Amino acid sequence: MMSENTEKPIVLVIDDESEIRRFLRVSLSASGYEVHEAATGEEGVTRAALLRPDVVILDLGLPDVDGIEVLQRLREWSHVPVIALSARHGDADKIAMLDAGANDYLTKPFSVGELMARMRAARRNAQPAPESSVMQVGDLRIDFASRAVTVSGAPVKLTKTEYALLHLLAENAGKVLTHRQLLRGAWGPEYENETHYLRVYMGQLRKKIETDPNNPRYIMTESGVGYRLIG
Amino acid sequence: MMSENTEKPIVLVIDDESEIRRFLRVSLSASGYEVHEAATGEEGVTRAALLRPDVVILDLGLPDVDGIEVLQRLREWSHVPVIALSARHGDADKIAMLDAGANDYLTKPFSVGELMARMRAARRNAQPAPESSVMQVGDLRIDFASRAVTVSGAPVKLTKTEYALLHLLAENAGKVLTHRQLLRGAWGPEYENETHYLRVYMGQLRKKIETDPNNPRYIMTESGVGYRLIG
DNA sequence: GCTTTGCGTGAAAAACGCGTGAGAAACGCG
DNA sequence: CGCGTTTCTCACGCGTTTTTCACGCAAAGC
């Protein structure tokens, strides 16, 4: 494959603010990453093509091209995990970013610890997926082949739609799925604005698989954005 | 395993022409095979179930059932190598036969030498076939070889379609089979939307194999999705 | 501080899928 | 040809699932 175990993982930072780049260069290098940088979107795409990085950190507020476009061009040929950075305001950008295929996002300011945790998660879930057909998260166990779900061994009965949602979340464990993505996946493209469906069904799902539905351990909600199954 | 090294290899000849049977009996016996015979397709399937032969020689031109069907029924529970014999020269038969799971094909007339060479080849390539050919779930017992179904010892009479469905379910015990899969499997691809057939037949099946058809223990329905045999 | 926005909840209404019985049509066998 | 069996068709009742709606609450924005 790529530089998996033999070398340091390569991370490409695409951001026009030099302070941020410097900050990330220092902290990520110290943690064992090989850090490369690009100051513009154009340069970012080019460098990514040459470098084949293991993970990309992409700022939305680029001067030349929109972050979305950078991501789209990246996705035309690569499945590299991408973590989006956004300045506080603007849910719309974040959502567009996730819809376009970003794996996760962070709002500035952020802590290095959190960033690195998300990078690990993104890389972990970006595996070529030799899909073992059964996944386990904590006490939650999903057998995709038999379509069976259990919580600490006890079988859970899910309806068609509930299972469809959980399946989507599980396939992308650790990754934020936008409302739109979930609705498209479980109901179809023509439902992508019926976000209230999600509230109802996430509630039902939690009631069935969470021990304490008020403090969810598995299905986390990303306010204004979507939902995520921990992974 | 079966009678591999310790005994003579057993060969079952299914052919309605007595001269061919005699010819094969003489020549194969002389070469160290234990030869058994069946004159009809029906008898052939039955004898194969009892004998567990190491190789089967199957004529296509049988009076009662089509050779293809004999082969299909054999393949429902066994991986025994089958060599097809045919008087016809058409490619169509050949293809159909091989599609149905025959290992090789000979057109009459043929030489004993060639037949035996192909038998050796077929046996060499044969799978270890760990198939037990009979499955038991609770009180329900299905013998794929003889197509016999019993509930707590009592034999149950199933129609062709009922058995086809149960067979599908049993092959995938524990997994959910979608309406579409069941309909394709039991009726054919052009029936994949006739979900009401399933309701009728699942009802009949349950009436025959469930002690309490209202609270099924074996055939579970997954609403909006399909059915599943517990396992 | 007040308004806005999004999330979670419960409960009712509507839609859907399932099981059933019974009759018609097709088939298989003598 | 005639009979019994099997498959197909249909319509009804019922339980489940989906959809809709209104409200309380909390966090974010002005």
Euclidean distance between CA atoms B21 and B9, whole angstroms: 17
- Please provide the average confidence, as pLDDT, over all residues in chain B: 87
Q: Which nucleotide is nearest to A197 (CA to C1')?
A: D19
Query: Among partner residues B175, B223, B224, which is closest to A146 by beta-carbon distance?
Result: B175
A residues 147-166 lying closer than 8 A (beta carbon) to B: 147-148, 159-160, 163
Q: Which residue of A has its CA nearest to B230?
A: A146
Average pLDDT over residues A212-219: 92
Residues 127-156 of A with CB under 7 A from strand D: none
Which strands make up the sheet holding A55-59, listed edge to edge?
A: A34-38, A10-14, A55-59, A82-87, A104-108
Strand partners, A141: A136, A150
* Per-residue pLDDT at A7: 77
- Please provide the average confidence, as pLDDT, over all residues in chain A: 89
- A182-213 pLDDT, tens per residue? 999 999 999 999 999 999 999 999 999 999 98
Q: Check whether B119 has a pLDDT greater than 60.
A: yes
**Interface contact flag, B228 A159, Cβ < 8 Å:** no
Q: What is the pTM assigned to this prediction?
A: 0.82
Give yes or no for CB of B213 within 7 Å of strand C.
yes
* Per-residue pLDDT at A111: 83
Residue A120: partners with Cβ closer than 8 Å, 6 or more residues away: none
Using DSSP, state whether B231 is helix, strand or coil.
coil
Instruction: State the pLDDT confidence band at B2, using cuts at 50, 70 and 90.
Output: very low
- Whether chain A has a CB inside 8 Å of the CB on B224: the answer is yes
Q: How far is the CA of A133 from the C1' of C1 (A)?
A: 54
Alpha-carbon distance B175 to nearest alpha carbon in chain A (angstroms): 4
Chain C positions with any atom < 7 A from a protein CB: 6-11, 16-22
Q: Check whether A1 has a pLDDT greater than 50.
A: no
* Per-residue pLDDT at A2: 47
Alpha-carbon distance A145 to nearest alpha carbon in chain B (angstroms): 6
| Interface-testing mutation among A142, A143, A144, A147, with chain B (most B C-beta atoms within 10 A) | A147
Please give the residue that has the higher pLDDT: either A161 or B127. A161
Average pLDDT over residues B131-147: 87
- A110-141 pLDDT, tens per residue? 888 888 888 988 888 776 555 678 899 999 99
- A26-60 pLDDT, tens per residue? 999 999 999 999 999 999 999 999 999 999 999 88
Average pLDDT over residues B27-41: 91
**Interface contact flag, B223 A159, Cβ < 8 Å:** yes
Crossing angle (nearest 10°) for helices B179-186 and B160-171? 130
Q: Which nucleotide is nearest to A163 (CA to C1')?
A: D17
Place of tokens 């009996």: B25
* Per-residue pLDDT at A3: 44
* Per-residue pLDDT at B180: 94
Euclidean distance between CA atoms B218 and B229, whole angstroms: 5
* Per-residue pLDDT at B157: 95
Cis-peptide, bond into residue B109, ω within 30° of zero: yes
Candidates B165, B158, B206; CA nearest to B185 is: B165
Residues A181/A99, Cβ–Cβ less than 8 Å: yes
- Percentage of chain A with pLDDT > 90? 61
Average pLDDT over residues B36-59: 89
Alpha-carbon distance A161 to nearest alpha carbon in chain B (angstroms): 9
* Per-residue pLDDT at B132: 66
**Interface contact flag, A147 B225, Cβ < 8 Å:** yes
Euclidean distance between CA atoms A156 and B87, whole angstroms: 58
Instruction: State the pLDDT confidence band at A150, using cuts at 50, 70 and 90.
Output: very high
* Listed range (A136-150, B5-19, B188-202) with the worst mean pLDDT: B5-19
Residue A174: partners with Cβ closer than 8 Å, 6 or more residues away: A104, A121, A122, A124, A125, A228, A229, A230, A231
Cis-peptide, bond into residue B213, ω within 30° of zero: no
Instruction: State the pLDDT confidence band at B86, using cuts at 50, 70 and 90.
Output: confident
Instruction: State the pLDDT confidence band at B1, using cuts at 50, 70 and 90.
Output: very low
* Per-residue pLDDT at A131: 64
* Per-residue pLDDT at B131: 58
Q: Write out the two tokens for B77.
A: 């529970």
Chain A residues in contact with B174 (beta carbon < 8 A): 146, 148
* Per-residue pLDDT at A49: 94
Give yes or no for CB of B194 within 7 Å of strand D.
yes
Q: Check whether B108 has a pLDDT greater than 90.
A: no
Q: DSSP states of B197-229 as a string?
A: HHHHHHHHHHHHH-SSTTS-SSEEEETTTEEEE
Residues B216/B124, Cβ–Cβ less than 8 Å: no
* Per-residue pLDDT at B204: 96
- Whether chain A has a CB inside 8 Å of the CB on B230: the answer is no
Q: Check whether A96 has a pLDDT greater than 90.
A: no
* Per-residue pLDDT at B99: 77
* Per-residue pLDDT at B6: 57
- Percentage of chain B with pLDDT > 70? 91
Give yes or no for CB of B187 within 7 Å of strand D.
yes
Chain A residues in contact with B175 (beta carbon < 8 A): 145-147
